[in-house]
Amino acid sequence: MEFLYAIINFLILCAILFVFGRKAAAKIFSDRLERVKRGLDEAERAEGEAESDADLPKIPASFSDALPESVLCETAAIRSRAEEEAERIRNRTEDTVTSLRREMLADARDRLIDAVCEKAAAMMAGEPYRSAIRAKEEQFADEIVRRMEITPGDIAYLKRHDVLYVTLTSAEPLPQSIVDRIGERALAMLEEVGGKPSYWVREDPELIGGFRFRVGDTVYDFTIKDRLYQLRRELENMPLTGREDAEALVRQAAEAVSSMTYGMSEFQLGRVLSVFDGICWMDGLADIMYGEVVEFENGERGMVLDIEADRIGCIIYGNYAKIESGTRVRRVGRIASVPVGEAMLGRVVDPLGRALDGGGRIFTDERRPIECAAPSIPDRAAVSRPLHTGIRAIDALVPIGRGQRELIIGDRQTGKTSIIVDTILNQKGTGTICIYVAIGQKDSAVMEIRDRLRQYGAMEYTTIVCAPASASASFQYIAPFAGAAMGEYFMYRGQDVLIVYDDLSKHAVAYREISLLLGRPSGREAYPGDIFYLHARLLERAAQLSPENGGGSMTALPVIETQAGDISAYIPTNVISITDGQIFLDSDLFNEGQRPAVNVGLSVSRVGSAAQTKLMKQVSSRLRMDLAQYRELAGFTQFGADVDAATRRVLESGRRMMAALKQKRYAPLPDWLQALVIFAVSEGLAADVDPGDMEAWSSLLAARMAEKYPELLNLLKLGGKLSPEEREVLKRAAADCGSAMKDEAA
């Protein structure tokens, strides 16, 4: 029964829910429908309004005339700036694309050259080439008979060894008539110079085809092997623009092969006598020149550094493990050189100009010899333009001029490299190209400098030539010369260059190592006698060229590390006497917290003050005297002597001035801002500033002046001498800013 009631209750509930629920659901749906309809109506109305907006009257063309001139100018300027920027980005992107293309094409070309040479060798080893070569044998024999000569070098060899080797080597047996004809002429020549008859005839299938005749060191070569060598050189030296496609590369190679003529090459050959520690002794190569490049059989190269009566010494550039006594050496016929050009900027390279930064191969069209004569006196002009380092202590007291050589000297860890990095940073926006040559530094230190320069956007105009401590002595030896060649490229094009050799003490040590290995007599401190000449000829290349020669300049900042402040050691005295002044960094000052630790007494610039701005000269003239006076008094009073009020005043202001010369790293200051602070301090405006707060005070003063007296700062920027009235105005303004700062602090 209960069950029946439950069913009836349930049915009643269902009926109620059906009646009321249907009503509620219908209401909800009708609300929604209403809202959607409203939305659609609104949208339709808005669309109608928008359409009617199009009917607004057009802005008349004369409207722009009503705008103020300044708005139009500003708009035009913004537009042209945007266009310039877009153009710059377009160019940069294009450069990147070109260099990527070149890189990939160069790889492809290397493989193509291998394949082409292999194919050419196989082809020329067979018919009909062999018969063609055989048909020319008579003609070549005539040419050899005509050109054959015994050089003075050969005669010297003959006198020493009593014999001169004459050899005829062919790929396959030669007709007897040719062998005899060449032999007769050679023996007649030998007789003329008093040599024994020594004529050998050999066969060597490796020559593939043709023959080669050798008298003493000179080789007259008609072989296929030599042709293939020449073909490879030619293909490797073909310029790549980056626009070639695969067909163009193949066409280039095919053209080179088809234009290959079967002619004679004449060169001098030598032989390795011994090789050790990157040094190689050779004989032969009678007419070789100092500094010339030689090529070993395995493709490695070296540079001649020593020519003795019966042997020639050279340094080997790369890996010398595969070179052994008996290896053939060939003259390349040019002095050692490095690639130069715009493409070197922003890169870290080794002393042969090869990329070390993983940024891909560097493609340049020009090379310069690493050793070259310095500009002569008539080609130079007087040093007259300043090269601002951005460091107060240097620009005010030991100013550097463009084209000058200024030595940076000090013990280890006294901030030598920091000064250089700041100077490079300060060249930003001046159009000066910077070359940083790192010799014997740690790899990590060089990479840190690179990162720092990149961080401040200075790598764009800088090349780092890196011969780290881990590199061979030969690399360390040639690094500064390679850097100088890269700098000269820009100097002779009329640009300004700053070159830094960090450091020449390690360069001297590398040269000493090479010299001792070459068996040269050692002199003072075991350095060879020509170490002075080595650094003199390097630094002599820094110059300010005359306007007729383009007016470019190269300023050199060599670095020398001293031992316990001893500037009278051999290498420091040498370089001090070569350069036009030195910035001496004192480790005592450094440890006292005076950074940069420039010792004002021992530092000097012999030409730079001629290049200082008139303003800087005016404001810093008293500074040097005052500091000298301070140093003298400070020396006396450090024993705790009782001093009178006047002396105390001098000491106080001296201390303040020294504090004003302190400067943080990576914060180079413009010249006129330096002048302002020095002016303020030497006028006694910082009399009650604590020496410890001087650095903060100087930057605050500069900021305050820029805010309150911008017109006075503009006057300073002109760099001219201040008239007494201008001095007074500046003094009052600086005093005003100073007292305002004091009030704020209080």
Q: Which residues make up the interface to ligand ATP (CB under 6 A)? A: 410, 412-418, 561, 595-596, 663-665
Q: Residue 320 — φ and ψ, nearest 5°?
A: -105, 15
Q: Which is nearer to ligand ATP, 330 or 416 (CB)?
A: 416
Give the shortest CB-524-to-Mg ion separation in angstroms: 25
The two structure tokens encoding residue 418 = 């920091």
Q: Which is nearer to ligand ATP, 489 or 697 (CB)?
A: 697
Cβ count near 606 (within 10 Å): 16
Pairing label, strands 581-585, 604-605 = antiparallel
The two structure tokens encoding residue 661 = 């010369």
| Residue 414 in contact with Mg ion, rule: CB under 5 A | no
Q: Which is nearer to ligand ATP, 302 or 410 (CB)?
A: 410
Residues 6+ apart with CB under 8 A from 288: 268, 270, 294, 304, 307, 312, 331
Q: Which is nearer to ligand ATP, 412 or 708 (CB)?
A: 412
- Spatial distance between the Cα atoms of 443 and 198, rounded to a whole number of angstroms: 55
Q: Nearest-CA neighbor of 384 among 545, 203, 209? A: 545
Active-site pick, 130, 311, 606, 665:
606
Stretch that binds Mg ion, among 165-173, 316-324, 326-334, 415-423 (CB under 5 A): 415-423
- Within 432-522, strands assigned E span 433-439, 462-467, 496-502
Give the shortest CB-561-to-ligand ATP separation in angstroms: 6
Residue 339 interacts, among Mg ion, ligand ATP, none and using kind-specific CB cut-offs from 5 to 8 Å, with none
Residues 6+ apart with CB under 8 A from 647: 633, 637
Q: What is the DSSP string of 531-553?
A: HHHHHHHHHTT--BB-GGGT--E
| Residues 404 and 587: beta-carbon distance below 8 Å | no
| Residues 286 and 154: beta-carbon distance below 8 Å | yes
Cβ count near 244 (within 10 Å): 18
Give the shortest CB-561-to-Mg ion separation in angstroms: 8
Give the shortest CB-567-to-Mg ion separation in angstroms: 17
| Residues 438 and 446: beta-carbon distance below 8 Å | yes
The two structure tokens encoding residue 350 = 């080794």
Any alpha helices (H) in 518-611, and if so which ranges?
531-539, 570-578, 587-592
The distance of Cα 530 from the centroid of its chain, to the nearest Å, equals 27
Q: Which is nearer to ligand ATP, 313 or 468 (CB)?
A: 468
Q: Which is nearer to ligand ATP, 399 or 410 (CB)?
A: 410
Stretch that binds Mg ion, among 1-9, 54-62, 303-311, 410-418 (CB under 5 A): 410-418
Cβ count near 621 (within 10 Å): 13
* CA-based torsion, 632, 637, 643, 649: positive or negative: positive
Is there a catalytic annotation at residue 606?
yes
Q: Which is nearer to Mg ion, 264 or 500 (CB)?
A: 500
| Residues 508 and 444: beta-carbon distance below 8 Å | no
The distance of Cα 244 from the centroid of its chain, to the nearest Å, equals 29
Residue 415 interacts, among Mg ion, ligand ATP, none and using kind-specific CB cut-offs from 5 to 8 Å, with ligand ATP
Q: Which is nearer to Mg ion, 226 or 411 (CB)?
A: 411
Give the shortest CB-477-to-ligand ATP separation in angstroms: 19
Give the shortest CB-562-to-ligand ATP separation in angstroms: 10
- Spatial distance between the Cα atoms of 13 and 728, rounded to a whole number of angstroms: 104
Torsion on CA atoms 589, 633, 655, 568, rounded to nearest 10: -20
Residue 561 interacts, among Mg ion, ligand ATP, none and using kind-specific CB cut-offs from 5 to 8 Å, with ligand ATP
Cβ count near 450 (within 10 Å): 22
- Spatial distance between the Cα atoms of 475 and 616, rounded to a whole number of angstroms: 41
- Spatial distance between the Cα atoms of 581 and 565, rounded to a whole number of angstroms: 17
Residue that is written with structure tokens 């000493």 in the block:
512
Q: Which is nearer to ligand ATP, 291 or 410 (CB)?
A: 410
Give the shortest CB-499-to-ligand ATP separation in angstroms: 17
Residue 413 interacts, among Mg ion, ligand ATP, none and using kind-specific CB cut-offs from 5 to 8 Å, with ligand ATP
Give the shortest CB-596-to-ligand ATP separation in angstroms: 5
Report the Cα–Cα distance between both ends of the chain, in Å, rounded: 100
The distance of Cα 168 from the centroid of its chain, to the nearest Å, equals 48
Residue 418 interacts, among ligand ATP, Mg ion, none and using kind-specific CB cut-offs from 5 to 8 Å, with ligand ATP
Any alpha helices (H) in 605-693, and if so which ranges?
614-637, 645-660, 671-682
Q: Residue 68 — φ and ψ, nearest 5°?
A: -65, 150
Residue type, 305: L
State whether residue 179 is helix, strand or coil: helix
Give the shortest CB-662-to-ligand ATP separation in angstroms: 8
- Within 27-121, strands assigned E span none
Q: Which is nearer to Mg ion, 268 or 476 (CB)?
A: 476
Q: Which is nearer to ligand ATP, 415 or 552 (CB)?
A: 415
Stretch that binds Mg ion, among 188-196, 349-357, 416-424, 637-645 (CB under 5 A): 416-424
Q: Residue 401: left (phi > 0), alpha (psi -120 to 50), or beta?
A: beta
Q: Which is nearer to ligand ATP, 223 or 426 (CB)?
A: 426
Residues 6+ apart with CB under 8 A from 547: 381
Give the shortest CB-610-to-ligand ATP separation in angstroms: 27
| Residue 587 in contact with Mg ion, rule: CB under 5 A | no
Q: Is 120 exposed, middle or buried (0-12, 13-18, 19+ CB in 10 A)?
A: buried
Q: Nearest-CA neighbor of 201 among 226, 172, 179, 178? A: 179
Residue 665 interacts, among ligand ATP, Mg ion, none and using kind-specific CB cut-offs from 5 to 8 Å, with ligand ATP
Give the shortest CB-674-to-ligand ATP separation in angstroms: 15
Give the shortest CB-559-to-Mg ion separation in angstroms: 7
Q: State the number of binding residues for Mg ion (CB under 5 A).
A: 2
| Residue 417 in contact with Mg ion, rule: CB under 5 A | yes
In residues, how long is the chain? 746
Active site residues: 606
Binding site for Mg ion (CB under 5 A): 416-417
